[in-house]
Amino acid sequence: MPKQYFSLRNLKFTMHELHKAQEVTEYPYFAHLDREAIDMILESAIQIADNILAPCAIEMDREHMAHFHDGKVTVHPSVKKYIKAIGDAGLIASRAPLSANGSQLPETLNVAMAFVMGAANNAITSFAGLTEGSANLILSFGNQHLKDTYLPKMYAGDWQGTMCLTEPQAGSSLHYITSSASPTSEEGKYKIKGQKIYITAGDHDQTDNIVHLYLAKIDGAPAGTKGISLFVVPQKRIENGQLVPNDVKTIGIFHKMGQKGAPAVHIEAGTNDECFGWLVGEPHKGLTYMFQMMNEARIGVGTTGACIASAAYYAALEYAHERPQGQSLNIKGQDPNAPQTHIINHPDVKRMLLFQKSIVEGSLSLVMQGAKYADKIHSTEGEEKEKYQLLLDFLTPIIKTFPTEMGQQSVSSSLQVFGGGGFCEDFPLEKLYRDIRITTIYEGTTGIQSLALLGRNITMKNGKAAMALFQEISQDIKDATTHEDLKKYATALAGKLGEIQKVTQHLVGFAMKGDTERFLADATLYMEAFGILVVAWQWLKQGTAAKLALLTQNPQGDDLQFYESKIHTMRYYFAYEVPKTQGLMTRLLDDEVLTIQVENGILV
């Protein structure tokens, strides 16, 4: 197994030097923390990652993958150890406020911990992640009874939480769910009936109960998304202080290509008409509530993309340093007796590694940017708070998409460095390649995220969110321009922003004429171009921070190398990645219509 799956040096650079995570401790909401506390909490997550998560990652994929037999789901026994460790460290309640016995940690720290733990073992982290997300929904919208009943158990890691959205006939379009909720004589208590699929951690043997946060329609509710309500549907309900079965049956498990350690189950609620659910908040507001969790989950998936790519990159980097193969192109053929060189010395391998590094560190920086905005929302008021909320909302689909789409390419490139070994179980690459493939699908596919970016966020509040982002980027371009040797890149980014604005106006033109289909037909390409530029911004920021360190800190040794590496990778990103927007923009400005109102017979 590779020695390293992430770089602590880079993580600390990204958190502190770049995004100044510790800044928020100056505001009341995070005043219970300081830089030292942040580092200590991060260190505890690293310990869990090194000692519990990394050692069982491969085992979970092979011998102890999730199984379904005799109506029961079993998973790797380390899951319990992990959930308890995370619970004991107060990390399931990391986002919950102190007032609710939460840890009230900044999102920058949460992202850093998720990155480290996911890089160690990306299948196991979904267990606690889902418990946290669902507990936070109860905390935000549930009544006191629900909070008292569920939160202590969930935050401690004794009970598992899940998100139950998808049904066989309703995935991307939740509009069409048919799970039903019928009122009982007791207020807030409903009889639940329906099926849900792809429920991660929806059943397993490592916690005492499973608590489903379940979308259903109350009898007589309005059609569509405006009639969806949210319920707590436990696998076992409490009666007279005892846990009794609540008629939630696991009827199957999905055999997945990757993340095999985490079960995705098919559940049926109310087979025997004895399943009860408790309404969370008000009726018909379920989807709005769920989207609180969903937006956090989307940032979480972006982090997963980044950290899987990180594990793959460090494995490839280590291999490239150690694997001798071939000779330098400049001496090849001249001396047949010359020894082999390590493959890292081949320009093509170095290019592949620079690509991976640029994606891993660019993605982490992007996710951390979103986290910083989330922290600012907690630390500011009024217009400023609104601005950060807009920035976070605007960036969320990009944070979900860039690290997952480009992360898949990055992991594929890491695999390629291993040659035939990358395709075999001797190295962890084939597993990481399988694992990361789900990330562009769950919590909203790339297509769905792209519709959100172009169809909703660009025009949100008359373009105010987009303007706020362009202002942020412009400020960073200005900062970079003060350094002579960064000007080239700052200017390039400014030019590209002008181009994407032109493309945006062109597309919005169709929306204004009422042609939504034309407006959004190539939204996925728009997302791709926009994402490349947003990460170019992150690279320019990183280059500027590194430049500043080189100028002011007189770094030596590893530190000097680290900052020089940053600037080199920024140069790589601008030379190799940014030009990819050219073809995308050409297409987006092109008037050839090929996917709209075209007969399906055109596809044979």
Q: Is residue 423 involved in binding its own copies (CB under 8 A)?
A: yes
Residues 224-253 touching its own copies, rule: CB under 8 A, are: 224-226
Smallest gap, in angstroms, from Cβ of residue 398 to its own copies? 17
Residues 575-594 touching its own copies, rule: CB under 8 A, are: 575-576, 579-584, 586-587, 590, 592, 594
Tokens of 196: 């849900």
Measured CA to CA in angstroms, residue 492 lies from 352, 413, 425, 477, 545 at distances of 23, 26, 42, 10, 18
Q: Is residue 72 involved in binding its own copies (CB under 8 A)?
A: no
Residue where the block lists tokens 């079965």 = 245
Smallest gap, in angstroms, from Cβ of residue 564 to its own copies? 7
Residues 3-42 touching its own copies, rule: CB under 8 A, are: 7, 9-10
Among 159, 198, 289, 388, binds its own copies (CB under 8 A): 198
Q: Is residue 222 involved in binding its own copies (CB under 8 A)?
A: yes
Smallest gap, in angstroms, from Cβ of residue 203 to its own copies? 16
What pairing do the DSSP bridges indicate for beta strands 159-164 and 209-218?
A: parallel
Among 101, 328, 471, 482, binds its own copies (CB under 8 A): 328
Among 236, 385, 434, 461, binds its own copies (CB under 8 A): 434
Among 131, 134, 363, 408, binds its own copies (CB under 8 A): 408
Tokens of 407: 């992360």
Q: Is residue 426 involved in binding its own copies (CB under 8 A)?
A: yes
Which residues are paired to 159 by β-bridges? 209
- Nearest CB to its own copies, comparing residues 478 and 576: 576
Among 115, 190, 442, 539, binds its own copies (CB under 8 A): 442
Q: Is residue 322 involved in binding its own copies (CB under 8 A)?
A: no
Residues 255-314 touching its own copies, rule: CB under 8 A, are: 255-258, 264
Q: Is residue 449 involved in binding its own copies (CB under 8 A)?
A: no
Question: What is the C-alpha separation between 493 and 246, in angstroms, rounded?
Answer: 57
Task: Classify 438 as helix, strand or coil.
Answer: helix
What is the DSSP track for 212-228?
Answer: EEEEEEETTPPSGGGGE
Q: Is residue 445 involved in binding its own copies (CB under 8 A)?
A: yes
* 116 burial level (CB within 10 Å; 0-12, 13-18, 19+): buried
Smallest gap, in angstroms, from Cβ of residue 348 to its own copies? 4
Among 67, 100, 180, 254, binds its own copies (CB under 8 A): 254
Q: Is residue 603 involved in binding its own copies (CB under 8 A)?
A: yes
Q: Is residue 407 involved in binding its own copies (CB under 8 A)?
A: no
- Nearest CB to its own copies, comparing residues 159 and 319: 319
Write phi, then psi, for 214 (nearest 5 degrees). Answer: -125, 125
Q: Is residue 173 involved in binding its own copies (CB under 8 A)?
A: yes
- Nearest CB to its own copies, comparing residues 219 and 517: 517
Residues 80-119 touching its own copies, rule: CB under 8 A, are: none
User: Which window, 233-241, 335-343, 391-399, 535-543, contacts its own copies (CB under 8 A)?
Assistant: 335-343
- Nearest CB to its own copies, comparing residues 44 and 225: 225
For residues 437 and 309, the answer to whether their CB atoms sit within 8 Å is no
- Nearest CB to its own copies, comparing residues 12 and 189: 12
- Nearest CB to its own copies, comparing residues 7 and 304: 7
What is the DSSP track for 327-379?
Answer: --TTTTTT-TTSPPPBGGGSHHHHHHHHHHHHHHHHHHHHHHHHHHHHHHHHH
Smallest gap, in angstroms, from Cβ of residue 431 to its own copies? 8
Which residues are paired to 167 by β-bridges? 170
Tell me the residue length of the chain: 604
Smallest gap, in angstroms, from Cβ of residue 513 to its own copies? 12
Q: Is residue 437 involved in binding its own copies (CB under 8 A)?
A: yes
**Count of residues that bind its own copies according to CB under 8 A:** 112
Q: Which amino acid is at 59?
A: E
Residues 345-364 touching its own copies, rule: CB under 8 A, are: 345-351, 353-354, 357
Q: 403-421: b or e for each residue (b if 16 or more CB lie within 10 Å)?
A: bbbbbbebbbbbbbbbeee
Among 330, 552, 554, 556, binds its own copies (CB under 8 A): 330
Measured CA to CA in angstroms, residue 549 lies from 291, 483, 545, 561 at distances of 40, 12, 6, 12
Q: 312-341: b or e for each residue (b if 16 or more CB lie within 10 Å)?
A: bbbbbbbbbeebeeebeeeeeeeeeeeeeb
Q: Is residue 327 involved in binding its own copies (CB under 8 A)?
A: yes
Cα-based torsion angle of the residue sequence 18, 411, 7, 319 in order, rounded to the nearest 10 degrees: -140
Question: What is the C-alpha separation between 402 and 39, in angstroms, rounded?
Answer: 27
- Nearest CB to its own copies, comparing residues 86 and 306: 306
Task: Classify 162 as helix, strand or coil.
Answer: strand
Q: Is residue 433 involved in binding its own copies (CB under 8 A)?
A: yes
Task: Classify 23 as helix, strand or coil.
Answer: helix
Q: Is residue 420 involved in binding its own copies (CB under 8 A)?
A: yes
Residues 536-575 touching its own copies, rule: CB under 8 A, are: 558, 561-562, 564-565, 568-569, 571-572, 575
What is the DSSP track for 74-129?
Answer: E--THHHHHHHHHHHTT-TTSSS-GGGT-----HHHHHHHHHHHHHH-TTTHHHHH
Catalytic member of 107, 296, 443, 528: 443
Tokens of 424: 């075999």
Question: What is the C-alpha separation between 177 and 173, in angstroms, rounded?
Answer: 8
What pairing do the DSSP bridges indicate for beta strands 228-234 and 209-218?
A: antiparallel
Look up 386 and say whether it is catalytic. Answer: no
Residues 501-530 touching its own copies, rule: CB under 8 A, are: 515-517, 520-525
- Nearest CB to its own copies, comparing residues 10 and 538: 10
| Among 296, 254, 322, CA closest to 399 | 296
- Nearest CB to its own copies, comparing residues 32 and 255: 255
Q: Is residue 197 involved in binding its own copies (CB under 8 A)?
A: yes
Smallest gap, in angstroms, from Cβ of residue 415 to its own copies? 7
Question: What is the C-alpha separation between 61 and 428, in angstroms, rounded?
Answer: 10
Q: Is residue 55 involved in binding its own copies (CB under 8 A)?
A: no
Active site residues: 443
